[in-house]
Structure 1
Amino acid sequence: MSEKLTIAMLGLGEAGSHFANDLVNLGVKVIGYDPKPLRKLHPSIEVKASNAEAVQEADIIFSANLSSVSEEIATEIVSVIKPHQFFCEMNTSGPEKKQKIASILASSGVKMIDLAIMAPVPPKGIMTPLLASGEYAEDFLAKIQSLKLDISSIENSKIGDAATRKLLRSIVYKGIAAVVCEAMEAGEAFGMEPYIRGQISSLIGGNNELIDRFVEGSKTHAIRRMHEMEAVIEMLEAKGIDPIVTKGTRSNLEKLSFI
């Protein structure tokens, strides 16, 4: 690697801890913060006492937190971040919230990137496909090029464009998963699981393992995906669309979160 990067990881939950550990293995110096760091971390990761402390030495800042705290984090760090740094907002929220974060950080001169996580983080970790948008997206890709991550950018884009694409995609993928979950539950209740599994399989190219991944993934990540669908609902309603199916997907994930 031609350049030793220092990356701050704000949020060390499922996604953040995977990213942080993998980045260390790629030769990156990783500094992190999480108010409740529960995941196992590589011993070389420097866990700081606050978001503001974690970002000060970083070339790149990854913020992989809940959407509900993203504005608060931006407010916390705005006085200490610098124009030479890249701030990558990775939370699952709609374009309007990404733009609000950009406005909070604008006075710092930091190069903000709307960086969307486009697939489940396990099993690929930091090699999960990422989509970048914003004025500095191409500069960011050049900065991180040596790591050879799976990152693409949207040409001539603005903050919020990556988030919009991620949430539009989620209507499809999370919606299909909700249908599969409900169909499998019904098949089991009627004692006809092999039949309903065959019906689903005929629509998804005979991929029986994918059915199990839809069901197990929806259960395992129900709370996070529920928040994701809430962001979709907010985005669609802002466009005057009544998201009937997406509301059903959100309700299905809420039910699964109690299982």
Structure 2
Amino acid sequence: MENNPGQWKVGLLGYGEVGRILAEDLRAQGITVSAFDVKLGKAAGEALQAHAAAQGVSLASSAAELAAGADLVVSAVTASQAVTVARECAPGMREAAFFLDFNSASPNAKREAAQVIAASGGRYVEGAVMTSVPPYRQRVPLLLGGPHAAALHPLLNAIGFASKVASEETGVASAVKMCRSVMIKGLEAMVIESFTTARAYGVEDAVIASLRETFPGMDWERQGTYFFQRVIEHGRRRAEEMREVARTVEDAGLAPWSASGTAQRQDWVADLSDEGLFGPRAAIGKTLADWRDASDKILARTKEKQDPQD
């Protein structure tokens, strides 16, 4: 394969929010990009096809076909599919091609995927994305892990990534990510639960004032709105990640009470979003001016379910 990453052919496995951002940034450098997503054959795939056409991204008909034409495969699918898509890519992997696993999966899932790719002759590298992608885009902080991480690290950074090697052992970078998610995704769920309940009792201003006094470095109003936006837009994906987090906690010998509860709350908001409660999901970032708007809709829906005669 090419030692010059600027001449690489990059295959994006998953063409959701992350895949499209990477496609845009890589194509801006003139790098050849292809993509595959299971949604391409469905109604939702029309928007993905239009984006790919606009960016000059070629579309593969399967994961194996994508892998067969790539020097670097970047896997960015839902957490529960991390091992499955590695298996689907394996038959087409080029000898010594890199497989960068962006997925928020448990350390054991990453180790399983690594074995699958290694058996095919590919070089598996786990990637732990350490914060939300959109503000940073391609330069989102990225921890790499596994025996091939050190080889991939400078090549990735040469084409605009912001990676660093966490460990030569597969699973360490993902453990960092999973443990962080207990806090970050848990905080999202707690804010939604706390702020909406406070709104129901009319005490939200007092609650936020108390939080501001305890944690003066955090803008709870702005952060609250951001948390609501992200969960409404991506709650289903976050819930899947939190189930992987729960597995990580269980593998450490603990009962995953917090992680499991967070997954339930994220799924609950995703259900409401699927019902159209908050309007078009893709527009939430522009239409949700304040977290109170979302809380009021949630409380109104809760009241409807409590009093079906209304």
TM-score by length of 1: 0.92
1:12 partner letter: Y
Measure, in 1, the Cα distance between the counterparts of 2:98 and 2:5.
18
Mapping 1:222-237, distance limit 5 Å: 222-237=235-250
Measure, in 1, the Cα distance between the counterparts of 2:212 and 2:230.
17
Matched with 2:205 is: 194
Measure, in 2, the Cα distance between the counterparts of 1:248 and 1:113.
30
How far residue 250 of structure 1 moved from its aligned partner, in angstroms, is 1.7
**Is structure 2 residue 82 aligned with structure 1 residue 48?**
no
1:11 partner letter: G
Measure, in 2, the Cα distance between the counterparts of 1:226 and 1:35.
20
8 Å Cα contact 2:198-2:207 kept in structure 1: yes
8 Å Cα contact 1:180-1:200 kept in structure 2: no
Matched with 1:91 is: 103
Larger mean CA deviation between 59-68 and 73-82 belongs to 73-82
Percent identity for Structure 1 against Structure 2: 26
Matched with 1:130 is: 142
Cα RMSD between the aligned structures?
1.8
Measure, in 2, the Cα distance between the counterparts of 1:215 and 1:121.
17
**Is structure 2 residue 269 aligned with structure 1 residue 256?**
yes
> Structure 2 unaligned runs (5+)?
273-310
Change (3 A) 1:204 1:226: farther
Measure, in 1, the Cα distance between the counterparts of 2:185 and 2:178.
10
Matched with 1:185 is: 196
Measure, in 1, the Cα distance between the counterparts of 2:88 and 2:203.
54
Q: What CA deviation, in whole Å up to 9, does each residue of 1:76-110 have, x standing for no partner? A: 22222123211111121101111111112222221
How far residue 63 of structure 1 moved from its aligned partner, in angstroms, is 0.8
Mapping 1:158-177, distance limit 5 Å: 158-177=169-188
Measure, in 1, the Cα distance between the counterparts of 2:218 and 2:181.
22
> Structure 1 unaligned runs (5+)?
none
8 Å Cα contact 2:80-2:240 kept in structure 1: no
Measure, in 2, the Cα distance between the counterparts of 1:216 and 1:73.
29
1:147 partner letter: I
2:136 partner letter: K
How far residue 223 of structure 1 moved from its aligned partner, in angstroms, is 0.7
Q: Which runs of 4+ in 1 moved over 4 A?
A: none
Q: What CA deviation, in whole Å up to 9, does each residue of 1:156-194 have, x standing for no partner? A: x21111111100000111122222111110121012222
Matched with 2:78 is: 66
Q: What CA deviation, in whole Å up to 9, does each residue of 1:109-131 have, x standing for no partner? A: 21110011211122322222111
Mapping 1:201-240, distance limit 5 Å: 201-202=212-213, 203=215, 205-207=217-219, 208-240=221-253
Measure, in 2, the Cα distance between the counterparts of 1:123 and 1:246.
25
Which of 23, 29, 39 lines up with 1:20 in the alignment?
23
Change (3 A) 1:86 1:237: same
2:236 partner letter: I
Q: What CA deviation, in whole Å up to 9, does each residue of 1:51-76 have, x standing for no partner? A: 11112222211011123333332222
**Is structure 2 residue 44 aligned with structure 1 residue 33?**
no
Measure, in 1, the Cα distance between the counterparts of 2:102 and 2:161.
15
Q: What CA deviation, in whole Å up to 9, does each residue of 1:182-231 have, x standing for no partner? A: 11101210122222222233325241312221222222211111111111
1:4 partner letter: Q
Measure, in 2, the Cα distance between the counterparts of 1:238 and 1:249.
18
Measure, in 1, the Cα distance between the counterparts of 2:193 and 2:84.
37
2:196 partner letter: E
1:236 partner letter: V
2:183 partner letter: V
Measure, in 1, the Cα distance between the counterparts of 2:80 and 2:217.
38
3-state secondary structure, aligned to 2:39: coil
TM-score by length of 2: 0.78
- Give the number of the structure whose alpha-carbon radius of gyration is greater: 2
Change (3 A) 1:104 1:254: same
Q: Count residues in correspondence.
A: 258
Matched with 2:166 is: 154
